Amino acid sequence: MEPNGKPNSTTLKFRTHRPGDMGYITYRHAVIYDQDHALPAFFERDVGRIAADFLDTYDAASERCWIAEKDDKFLGSIALVKHKELQDTAMIRLLLVEREARGLGLGTQLVQKSIDFAREAGYKRIRLWTLTQLTSARRLYTNAGFKILRTEPQDIWGGMPKEEWELTL
């Protein structure tokens, strides 16, 4: 642990998901997004569906979920899944970095793990969507080379406009 209370970045480890992780990822998304952005309760339902879909259709050859932790404590997650409609396209889902791990480059490492795996798995592009107010996530995606494809107004999730992003591999 650093003097500022944050985990030392050299002690972080990454692993793939195991039983219980998808439920915990859903829980942490609900808590953090409620505290940070006051998103409505059905945000948890929607994240839960994403996690359940991942478990229902998981293909280890072309999909992955990474958990970042220190001393077995969850610090973040990301998943890379096959796009349901577009050929040769993956999607980034469930990116989350706990408050105490922010500023360590953990989000950057998680996004890069997804990009590297997508290349290895033979994808030609990665898509994702985010909300315009999630400035830290948007900065991560921009720095990784993603480009905004479109922005759509929406009435759900506090009215935050939704953005779709893409990275060509």
Could you tell me which CATH number the domain at 9-168 has? 3.40.630.30
Q: Give the model's confidence band at 7: pLDDT under 50 very low, under 70 low, under 90 confident, else very high.
A: low
Write down the domain spans for the chain: 9-168
Nearest to 100, CA basis, from 29, 8, 17: 8
List, for residues 11-51, the tens digit of each pLDDT value: 889 999 999 999 999 999 999 988 988 887 888 999 999 99
Average pLDDT, the chain: 91
Under 8 Å between Cβ of 125 and 169:
yes
Q: What is the DSSP string of 96-121?
A: EE-GGGTTTTHHHHHHHHHHHHHHHT
List, for residues 109-168, the tens digit of each pLDDT value: 999 999 999 999 999 999 999 988 888 999 999 999 999 999 987 766 566 788 999 999
List, for residues 59-105, the tens digit of each pLDDT value: 999 999 999 999 999 999 999 999 999 999 999 999 999 999 999 89
d(CA 139, CA 61): 29
